[in-house]
Structure 1
């Protein structure tokens, strides 16, 4: 059991507080994140590369737009398929738009006093100098992947009596409160017998045997698991986090940017470095401005409390097509967007109320 168990973490012996170099601020229940080593400077900014001749996405055909609309209608139980099947496309307008995505992959570390049942481990407190928080070896996951690892810091362990059961290994049963609050026997309704016969279910006691402690009034201590002693140590929590932020260049299709975050586009540019410089020489100035702003925000937010392991930024061109169609004499619209040909039709003209039983 560690400090996240039902019972609060046991404090280390008083003479251990503040005596482990590098861990003076460590407390029961954990503290804040530890400042990382001094970060390095970004790599030299790249020179502008050649601009591809064609950064456009081929126009969507009417057949593809029609098929996407029919699939969309079929996926909604409350939508009639008639508008998708019988609607006639009047025109289609492309609104392809750029999306800039920045990812900052960081490692952060925090410490707390923790405990577990003592199972014969040797206490190693001060047998050697404990490695400082950022000196403890931890293997990071694949880049840009979230992961958490908890590590027992070497040379910080000691042994003490369990604070929950006072080294007895047992605790009062919470269900029957030591035998005074057992349930009334359901077979005899607490009378202890049926007429002149003794109740066989409760052996005439009128009370049911507690299932939690098997009628023993006490059960194994949840904190020490009956071991009576705890191993107290400093626990290092290492968190790898991929912080992702998107910027979609203003586009006038009417489709919300939230919709665009769920799809992919045509990748135009990707670069990954320890620390990135803003994009330079990009044809659309809004992308360069977003790159500079977001990189500054990430540096200000994460560098002080985390160690930046890698950054990556990507530019995609997302296909967006606004489709105008006619059904039953009225004009309606829907959008087809992303490489996945997702459809958005907020005002679908033929819906019904479904009741799911």
Structure 2
């Protein structure tokens, strides 16, 4: 009897927390006073975007390279090249006939080049926040091993320039072990399905022990009116999902480092009936390239709109990224994108298509030999 009473007291001690949401937030701030230096992390809901100190920014802006001007290599568009480009385009479409592409008569080729300016800013952003894992009785790298380092002093492996990535790290000497705030260190809580009984009313006979139509014993519950709880498998309690039954949590500050390539793009104006978004993916001929930690805006360039675009882009990226992150590298380029307007005649009517990019892509809005509209025109 004494053992039964002790078991009942233990079952009563299991908390009924099924209705409480799982929380990913750390406990209250008073549990982490021993961290000292990282007390500021507990403000702003335990999460803070870190701004690199000025000395870090100065260190990465000491060297500058000279910009490179390259020779233009855009070939002249010919009728054969324009026709072959259209044939390749038509053959890639399931509902385009190639007879028109083979029999059309080209009337005029209007070739021009557009300028595409790009500024790429590869920056690194660091965000710290409290998080936790179930504590499995391993070593704890806490404040007893020294003060946690400043987060911009933590050395991380930078990916290849202009390749985006995200990595997470545990801040050294920031770990603390506390009892689980979900189950209060019990590792389990009372099942909400059976309320800790382990058994629940049979849904087939509704607890009547027999089926009323035939007055036969219920086969699902063997005539008992109750059956084992399917939620907890008859245990009467469920393992705490927060601590995975370990009863304790290892709290630590997690550093999330994000590397992102931010692109500013400008394409010179034109009077063509041509969607400019297609030019963003077209291959151009690079005539100018400058890459450094911080690039200078162009001052004098043969195309004035490119100089203005460069000045605007450098200023916008400086405001957007230097105050919240660390700029690792910048690259600005100017490319020439060839666009040829092809006027042709077929079956007594005039039509138009465009050949653009160094790879001779085609945009044909009104191709005459289309059998359906099930495929795209770009």
Relative to the length of structure 2, the TM-score reads: 0.80
- What residue in structure 2 maps to residue 254 of structure 1? 273
Structure 2 counterpart of 1:352, from 372, 375, 378: 372
Secondary structure (helix, strand or coil) at the match of 2:161 reads: coil
Deviations 1:221-275, CA, capped at 9 Å, x for gaps = 2111111110111111111111111111222333222110011111212221111
Secondary structure (helix, strand or coil) at the match of 2:121 reads: strand
User: How far apart are 1:172 and its partner, in Å?
Assistant: 4.4
Alignment of structure 1 residues 68-87 onto 2, 5 Å? 68-87=85-104
Secondary structure (helix, strand or coil) at the match of 1:289 reads: helix
Q: Does 1:138 align with 2:156?
A: yes
Structure 2 counterpart of 1:267, from 286, 297, 322: 286
Alignment partners' CA distance in 2, 1:7 and 1:341: 55
Structure 1 counterpart of 2:147, from 129, 133, 141: 129
Alignment partners' CA distance in 2, 1:285 and 1:310: 25
Aligned residues of 2:52 and 2:324 also touching (Cα < 8 A) = yes
- What residue in structure 2 maps to residue 7 of structure 1? 23
Aligned residues of 1:33 and 1:109 also touching (Cα < 8 A) = yes
Alignment partners' CA distance in 2, 1:347 and 1:101: 32
Secondary structure (helix, strand or coil) at the match of 2:107 reads: strand
Structure 1 counterpart of 2:47, from 31, 52, 76: 31
Secondary structure (helix, strand or coil) at the match of 2:40 reads: coil
Aligned residues of 1:43 and 1:273 also touching (Cα < 8 A) = no
Distance 1:26 1:141, change over 3 A: farther
Structure 2 counterpart of 1:21, from 37, 47, 50: 37
- What residue in structure 1 maps to residue 16 of structure 2? none
Secondary structure (helix, strand or coil) at the match of 2:172 reads: coil
Alignment partners' CA distance in 2, 1:179 and 1:201: 19
Q: Does 1:67 align with 2:87?
A: no
Aligned residues of 2:198 and 2:229 also touching (Cα < 8 A) = no
Secondary structure (helix, strand or coil) at the match of 2:246 reads: coil
* Cα RMSD, aligned residues only: 3.2
User: How far apart are 1:294 and its partner, in Å?
Assistant: 0.6
Deviations 1:64-89, CA, capped at 9 Å, x for gaps = 32233233334344444444344332
Unaligned runs of 5+ in 2: 1-20
- What residue in structure 2 maps to residue 290 of structure 1? 309
| Structure with the higher fraction of residues in helix conformation | 2
User: How far apart are 1:211 and its partner, in Å?
Assistant: 4.6
User: How far apart are 1:26 and its partner, in Å?
Assistant: 3.6
User: How far apart are 1:28 and its partner, in Å?
Assistant: 7.5
Relative to the length of structure 1, the TM-score reads: 0.84
Over alpha carbons, which structure has the higher Rg? 2
- What residue in structure 2 maps to residue 108 of structure 1? 125
Aligned length: 348
User: How far apart are 1:336 and its partner, in Å?
Assistant: 1.5
